[in-house]
Amino acid sequence: MNPFRGIILKLAAVSIFVVMQILVKSVSGTIPPGQSMFFRSLFAMPVIVVWLAFRHELRQGLKTRKPMAHVWRGVVGTCAMGLGFAALGLLPLPEVTAISYATPLLVVMFAAMFLGEDVGLFRFLMVMLGLSGVLIVLSPRLTGFEPGVNNAETLGAIVALLGAICAALAQVFVRNMVRTEDAAAIVFWFSVTATVLSLATIPFGWVVPDPKTAGILIVMGLVGGLGQIFLTSAYRFADASLIAPFDYASMILALAAGYFLFNEVPTPTMLTGASVIIGAGILIIWREHKLQIERGRARRGGVTPQG
């Protein structure tokens, strides 16, 4: 384990994914989400294959014991990606980022519902707190309390939330799959299934991109693949509870990118809701880290701490 290296890799992954979102948003006016999703998935594959070959894990990355599990994970994950890309074309980048923070909170709920994982009172209350923050972020778009809100922004809020729900379901699929599938296989076959499934959106208006836009789309895929590698590598060097809070660095980057690149000024409501979500998420991570320490001590005494 090398915690410092894990943190650096996690920050690099978070930064790369924000860059990818910037690229998606920059072409959202002309390129439909499904087409962006195709380029994101297709051009991520060469990067992932080279990485697996370098690590001598290519055979593991191609081998699967449960191919249908990858298909179902691919369907849900592709929906999450497509909805997220669509939201970037409808809402400010920081707002999409804030709503996406609902994903880890929903994972806690879905893992309890579908995997039978135990959720203690503290985590349940923090999930409720975090979801209240999501409602704060969404409230101006869904209630009309904020002046100037249009139908596209309301649709964007709904799409972003649906994307977070699908992303949470995809993570629950992954939690179940890691019992039998190698992480390399999960990464590789998701790119394959997402590439294939994104072709189903061709009837919804794909366009022939100009050379500059095509270049952006290709870079988007390469960057996405690189970000996935950095993210996967981060967990090789540090515990999840240590590096998970660095996910929230994406809000700082999104705020800066939104302001300087897209002239997006965050509203007090959005910042308040995002703060509540981030606070709840950090408290869950802190509690989980504390429980891990207590479980280690309790093994000798035969006592299991409750979360």
- pLDDT tens digits along 74-94: 999 999 999 999 999 999 999
pLDDT at 287: 83
> Quick check: 37 and 227 in contact, CB under 8 A?
no
- Say how many residues make up the chain: 307
pLDDT at 1: 73
pLDDT at 305 over 60: no
Of residues 200, 199, 196, 215, the one with CA closest to residue 27: 215
Look over the chain and give the mean of its residue pLDDT values, rounded to a whole number. Answer: 90
pLDDT at 12 over 90: yes
Confidence of residue 300 (pLDDT cuts 50, 70, 90): low
Confidence of residue 144 (pLDDT cuts 50, 70, 90): low
Cα separation, 55 vs 104, whole angstroms: 29
- Single-letter residue type at 62: L
Domain boundaries, the chain: 3-301
Cα separation, 207 vs 36, whole angstroms: 11
Arithmetic mean of pLDDT, 192-216: 96
Residue percentage of the chain with pLDDT more than 90: 62
Q: How far is CA 65 from CA 45, 56, 192, in A?
A: 20, 19, 16
Arithmetic mean of pLDDT, 286-298: 76
Cα separation, 19 vs 235, whole angstroms: 21
